[in-house]
């Protein structure tokens, strides 16, 4: 049985491109608009997961990213908060 997992998406502008990044898997993509960057990231994550499954590393990768395997499917990590933090340097 397949699971639908939720992944964090960060989008920022770099020059004229929008860069999308998923911190759980450290997968990135880009696009001409924020929406395109997000859609391209979704495709990149799907491809990453397919290759990980083919190589036999999917379970380890998802566990290291905080996902929880139940008897029949994967469950998203239980997030308490998602926020930004400023630090002086």
The full 3-state SS of 19-73, as one line of letters, equals EEEECCCCEEEEECCHHHHHHHHHHHHHHHHHHHHHHCCHHHHHHHCCCEECCCC
* pLDDT value at residue 60: 97
- Taking the chain (89 residues) in runs of 10, the rounded mean pLDDT of each run is 85 97 97 98 98 97 95 89 90
């Amino acid at each position: 049985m397949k699971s639908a997992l939720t992944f964090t998406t960060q989008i920022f502008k770099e020059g004229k491109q929008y860069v999308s990044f998923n911190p759980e898997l450290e997968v990135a993509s880009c696009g001409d608009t924020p929406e395109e960057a997000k859609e391209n990231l979704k495709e990149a994550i799907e491809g990453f997961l397919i290759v990980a499954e083919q190589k036999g590393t999917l379970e380890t990768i998802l566990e290291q990213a905080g996902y929880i395997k139940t008897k029949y499917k994967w469950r998203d990590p239980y997030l308490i908060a998602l926020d930004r933090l400023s630090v002086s340097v």
